[in-house]
């Protein structure tokens, strides 16, 4: 899912890699976790957890504002697939979310990226006793977005060397 080949926030490097802030999104049925990279694309940081609003689109509106405020060069939307690579209902929902987001933020590219086990990894990183209930679920969504983004940043760094 791409709105364009380069982002409004940063130019493409000679090797075609977009430079600048990258936003990652973990789309769930109840919440949307958001993370952002530093401008050099080395580290991912949690930003916010938005309540999902399929009917009104307030989550997409706020996410669009964040992307513009941070002058993002690219947006990554986590695509949940099974370990076998099979896509289910959640993946179809994420594809539709990414399509709608791409329409709103063009010319910033919106790309789908593998998010297998991101929530499991986020839960492990947060530790079993750090938070409970609703507060933990909200933090987990941001942490999952960080996991998605950091994996993408690390993969780019490895491929650049």
Residues 105-158: pLDDT tens digits?
999 999 999 886 555 554 555 565 555 666 656 677 888 899 899 999 988 888
Taking alpha carbons only, the member of 100, 84, 79, 73 closest to residue 156 is 73
Q: Which domains does the chain have, with CATH numbers?
A: 22-160 (3.30.420.140)
Retrieve residue 11's tokens.
Answer: 């130019």
Judge whether residue 88 has pLDDT over 80: yes
Percent above pLDDT 70 for the chain: 75
pLDDT band at 11 (very low <50, low <70, confident <90, very high): very low
């Amino acid at each position: 899912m791409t709105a364009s080949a380069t982002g409004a926030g940063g130019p493409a490097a000679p090797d075609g890699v977009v430079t600048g802030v990258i936003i990652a999104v973990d789309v769930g049925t109840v919440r949307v976790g958001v993370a952002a990279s530093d401008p050099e694309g080395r580290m991912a940081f949690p930003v916010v957890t938005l309540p999902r609003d399929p009917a009104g689109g307030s989550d997409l509106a706020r996410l669009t504002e964040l992307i513009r405020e941070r002058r993002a060069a690219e947006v990554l939307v986590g695509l949940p697939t099974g370990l076998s690579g099979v896509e289910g209902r959640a993946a179809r929902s994420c594809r539709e979310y990414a399509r709608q987001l791409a329409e709103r933020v063009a010319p910033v590219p919106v790309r789908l990226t593998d998010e297998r086990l991101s929530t499991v990894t986020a839960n492990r990183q947060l530790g079993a006793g750090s938070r409970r209930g609703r507060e933990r679920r909200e933090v987990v969504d941001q942490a999952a977005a960080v996991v998605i983004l950091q994996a993408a940043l690390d993969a780019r760094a490895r491929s650049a060397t």
